[in-house]
């Protein structure tokens, strides 16, 4: 769906017991001539993931249950991820003779390291939320009844933050592919944009007046 133009933070969670159970294998198995998974990725998942990647607002995921397959990719690409204590992550692809997708082979080694990424993908075993926290895959683990409270608290804080949060998000995503020199240049360019924003003026004014800033996202 289209993200509202005035949105200042995106919060994603699962609608049922799982955050996402991954692709519908029953539907694929019932077809005499199932479509090639690669074409589905190119026409459905890639555009969505790319749009989320290029958003200029913060993204929070509230992982309420299992995040499996491509669902795990959605769960971990956020800027802040909080998971229920009963949640787990599973790169299940090897269990059915496939390879990880949804950008998993790109983001996992960059977040948890090459060895752990390969372990998750080849052994295809569940990664409990607590271990995911230890590995740096997510930010926080809470009891199920506190999940949305915590997620909304973070989302509200980000939604009330300055225009520069989107620039910060952009800077860190670009750091995955930029050289050291390129990142320096990007920081300079983004700093010029941030310093000309209304929120920067408000932040400086609030600091001098010793009060809390009232950011508008502009």
Give the total residue count for the chain.
Answer: 218
- Do 163 and 195 touch, CB atoms closer than 8 A? no
Retrieve residue 170's tokens.
């952009």
46 as an active site residue: the answer is yes
Rounded to the nearest angstrom, the gap between the alpha carbon of residue 77 and the centroid of all alpha carbons in its chain is 3
DSSP 20: B
Report d(CA 73, CA 50) in Å as an integer: 12
- Do 193 and 167 touch, CB atoms closer than 8 A? yes
Q: Which of 6, 32, 44, 46 is catalytic?
A: 46
- Give the alpha-carbon dihedral of 69, 75, 79, 85, to 10 degrees: -130
Phi/psi for 19 (5° steps) reads -70, -50
- Bridge partner list, 11: 60
Burial of 108 (0-12, 13-18, 19+ CB in 10 A): buried
- Do 91 and 100 touch, CB atoms closer than 8 A? yes
192 as an active site residue: the answer is no
Q: Which of 32, 56, 79, 101 is catalytic?
A: 101
Catalytic machinery residues: 46, 101
């Amino acid at each position: 769906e289209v993200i509202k133009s005035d949105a200042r933070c995106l919060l994603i969670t699962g609608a049922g017991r799982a955050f996402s159970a991954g692709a519908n294998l029953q539907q694929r198995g019932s077809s005499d001539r199932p479509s090639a998974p690669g074409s589905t990725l190119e026409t459905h998942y890639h555009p969505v993931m790319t749009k989320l990647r290029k958003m200029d607002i913060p993204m929070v995921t509230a992982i309420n249950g299992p995040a499996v397959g491509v669902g795990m990719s959605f769960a971990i690409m956020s800027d802040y991820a909080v998971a229920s204590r009963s949640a787990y992550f599973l790169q299940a692809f090897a269990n059915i003779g496939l390879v990880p997708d949804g950008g998993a082979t790109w983001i996992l080694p960059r977040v948890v390291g090459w060895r752990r990424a390969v372990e998750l993908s080849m052994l295809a075993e569940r990664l409990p939320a607590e271990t995911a926290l230890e590995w740096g895959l997510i930010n926080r683990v809470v009891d199920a009844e506190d999940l949305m409270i915590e997620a909304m608290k973070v989302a509200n804080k980000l939604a009330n933050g300055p225009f520069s949060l989107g620039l910060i998000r952009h800077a860190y995503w670009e750091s995955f592919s930029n050289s050291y020199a390129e990142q320096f240049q990007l920081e300079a360019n983004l700093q010029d944009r941030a310093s000309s924003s209304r929120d920067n003026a408000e932040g400086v004014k609030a600091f001098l007046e010793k009060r809390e800033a009232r950011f508008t996202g502009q």
